[in-house]
Chains A and B, each alone.
Chain A
C-alpha cells in the first residue's frame, strides 16, 4: 500500500517548470530513493509535499488524505518529517533543546506543556544515545561539528514519531565512516516501521539502502523500480549522461 501518493504535480517558477506533471508513490514501510541530475526538481518535490511551496496543480495524498495546500507545521503534525540539504539545526539552543522543539500536537496543550517534561526529555536522551551524540546534549547547536549536526537533525525529526521522513541528501558532505552510521540508523528506524524517502547524489548509498528508486528528470518521473533495474534503464542513462 502506498503511504504517499503524488499525482500530476506541477510547479512553475516564472517561465521555469520545476516540477512538470510528476507522478510517484512511496510504499509504506519502504526506504525509497528520489534521484536525478541537478535541477531535476527533487528538492522542489520535497518542498511541495511538506508545504513549503504551493503547488500550481496536481495532488499530494498521505494515507489517502489530500495534504496539498497545508502549511509545513500541519504537514509535520500529520506525520511527515523532513531534513534539509545542509543540516539545519537551531544554533543557539543546546542539542537537547533542539530535540525538544518538535511539536506534533499543536494547540493549547503544546503551548502549556513544560519544555523539560521528564518523559519527553528521557525520550530525547534515548534518541541522542541512539545516534551516538548523547555526550554533546548540553552543547549549543552552533558548536557542533557538521556530522553531529546531521545526526542531531535526524534524531530531532524523529522526536514526534513521524510515519514518513523525507531526507534531503543525508549523505551530503559526510565522511565514509559516518555515512555507514547514517545508513545504519535509517535501516534501524525503518525496521521500527518508519518509511523513508530520500534525495541523494551518492549512488552507492542509494543502491545499498533503498528498496525502490524513482528517477526524476526535468520535473518528471521517468523511471521507477528496484535500484539495479533502474540503473540499467536506458532512459535513466540518457538523463544522467545527457545523450
Chain B
C-alpha cells in the first residue's frame, strides 16, 4: 500500500528527462540573455529581475519555510549596499571586477548584523515579529540618514564605478553577479528544503511548540534561517549599490523593496523552491514597465496593490501550489474516467 516514495508527494509524473531539459533550457536562456538581447534597456530589466529572483528566494528561506514574515528585509539590502560602498571608498578599490570579490564580505557583515537583529526579533512571534522587523528597518534607515559623516546622509553615497565599461557591455557584469547570487540562493534553498534542518523549519511553521516538544532547537534553527536569508539579501544589496553607483537611505533601505520580495514569494508560492522565481519573473518586469510608462510617480503602486488583492483573493497559496493542485485533480479525474 505504501507504494513509491511518499516523501516525493508533490512531484508529478513528468519524466526527469523532460525536467532536466526544461532546467537546461532555462539555464541557457539565463546565461545567454546578454548575448541574445544586449541593448541596455533590456539588460537593465534583466539585472533587476534577477535581483528580485535572488531577493524573493532569500526571503523565502525565512518567511516561506518558517512562516515568520519579515517585512524589514530591506534593512539587510541597504546595509549590504552601504557595507560594499564604504569598503570600496575606504579601501580604495579600483572599480572593475575587483569590487565583486568584496560582495561575500558585505554578506558576512550583514550576517553579523542579522545575528543581532534576529536575536532580539525572534523572541517574538506572529504579528509582533512583523512589527519588530519593520521597526528595525526604519531604525537602520534613520541611522543611514543621520550618520552623515559615514554614509553621506540624505545627500547619498557615491560609489566608484568602472568608466571603461561602456555601451552595451556596462550592465553585463552586474547581470551575471545577480544571476550568480540568485543561483546561490536557489541552491541554498534547495539544500535546506531537503535537509533535516529544513524539515525542522517547516515544523516550526506548522506548530512551533510541538516542534520544541520533539527536540527541534527552534531558536537556533530560526536564527540560522534568518541569518542565511539576510546574508543573501545583503550580498544582493551590495551588487545593487555598485550597479546604481549612488545610494540614498530612502532608496536602499526602502520598505517597497522589502514588500516587493514578500509579494513575489506570496504570488509564486510560499515555501516552494520555484515560487519566488516565478513571482519575481512575472512581477518585476511588469513593475518596471509600469514605472516607465507612468513616470517617476508612484502610481505603479496601485498596480502592486491590485496584484496583491488578486493573489490573496484568487490564489491565497500562490501560483505553484495552486497549479500543482489543479494538475493533481485533473490527473485524478482522468484516471477515474
Please report A residues at the B interface, Cβ cutoff 8 Å: 50, 52, 71-73, 76-77, 81-82, 84, 88-97, 100-104, 106, 110-117, 121, 125, 134-135, 137-138, 140-141, 156-157, 159-160
A-B CB contact pairs (8 Å), 29 listed? A50-B213, A52-B212, A72-B213, A73-B212, A77-B215, A81-B213, A84-B213, A88-B209, A88-B210, A88-B213, A90-B203, A92-B205, A93-B206, A96-B6, A96-B7, A101-B200, A102-B215, A103-B217, A110-B196, A111-B196, A111-B197, A111-B224, A112-B196, A113-B196, A115-B7, A115-B194, A137-B2, A138-B4, A157-B214
Q: Show the binding face of B for A, using Cβ within 8 Å.
A: 1-2, 4, 6-7, 9, 194-200, 202-203, 205-207, 209-218, 220-221, 224
Contacts of A71 in B (CB 8 A): 212
Closest B residue, CB atoms, query A96? B6
In the complex, chain A residues whose CB is within 8 Å of the CB of B217: 73, 103, 106
| A116 in contact with B210 given A110-B196, A111-B197 (CB within 8 Å) | no
Contacts A89-B210, A96-B7, A135-B2 given; does A114 touch B216 at CB 8 Å: no
Interchain CA distance A114-B199 in the complex, whole Å: 9
Residues of A contacting B202 in the complex (Cβ-Cβ under 8 angstroms): 90, 92-93, 97
Chain A residues within 8 Å of B212, by CB:
52, 71-73, 76
Contact A111 B210 (CB under 8 A): no
User: Is A134's CB under 8 angstroms from B199's CB?
Assistant: no
Which residue of A77, A88, A106 contacts B207 across the interface (Cβ within 8 Å)?
A88
Could you tell me the distance in whole angstroms from the C-beta of B275 to the nearest C-beta in chain A? 15
- A97-B7, A103-B214, A111-B195 in contact; A125/B2 too (CB < 8 A)? yes
Known A-B contacts A113-B195, A121-B7, A138-B9; A91 and B209 likewise in contact (beta carbons under 8 Å): no
Which of these, A81, A92, A116, contacts B7 with CB under 8 Å?
A: A116
Tell me which residues across on chain B come within 8 A of A76, comparing CB atoms: 212-215
Dominant SS among interface residues on chain B: helix
The complex places the Cα of A114 from the Cα of B195 at a distance, in Å, of: 4
Sample of 9 more A-B contacts, CB < 8 Å, known A84-B210, A91-B206: A73-B212, A77-B215, A93-B203, A102-B214, A103-B200, A106-B217, A111-B196, A111-B224, A138-B2
Residues of B within 8 A of A138 (CB): 2, 4, 6-7, 9
**B202, closest chain A residue (CB):** A93
Tally A-B pairs: CB < 8 A: 118
Among B194, B195, B198, max chain A CB count under 10 A is at B195
Complex CA gap A97/B1 in Å reads 17
- Complex Cα–Cα for A90 and B129 (A): 22
What is the CA–CA distance of A96 and B224 in the complex, to the nearest angstrom?
A: 25
Complex Cα gap A95–B7 (Å): 9
Q: How far is the CA of A114 from the CA of B214 in the complex (A)?
A: 17
* 5 closest residue pairs by CB, A with B: A138-B6, A76-B215, A90-B206, A102-B214, A72-B212
What residues of B have a CB within 8 angstroms of the CB of A95 in the complex? Answer: 6
| Complex Cα spacing A113 to B207, Å | 22
| Whole-angstrom CA separation of A128 from B96 in the bound complex | 59
Q: Known: A97-B7, A125-B2, A134-B2. Contact between A82 and B199, CB under 8 A? A: no
The residue on B at minimum CB distance from A97 is B199
What residues of chain A lie closer than 8 Å to B196, measured between beta carbons? 100, 103, 110-115, 117
Residues of B within 8 A of A101 (CB): 199-200, 203, 211, 214, 216
- Asked if A73 and B9 make an inter-chain contact with CB atoms under 8 angstroms apart, the answer reads no
| Chain A residue with Cβ nearest B193 | A115
Residues of B within 8 A of A89 (CB): 207, 210
Which residues of chain B are within 8 angstroms of A112 by Cβ–Cβ distance? 195-197
If A92-B202, A94-B9, A137-B6 touch, whether A103 touches B216 (CB-CB below 8 Å) is yes
Which residue of chain B lies nearest to A141 when distances are taken between CB atoms in the complex? Answer: B206
Report how far A30 CA is from B195 CA in the complex, Å: 36
**Given A94-B9, A106-B215, A114-B194, is A52 in contact with B210 using a C-beta cutoff of 8 Å?**
no
Which residues from chain B contact A97 at a C-beta distance below 8 Å? Answer: 7, 199, 202
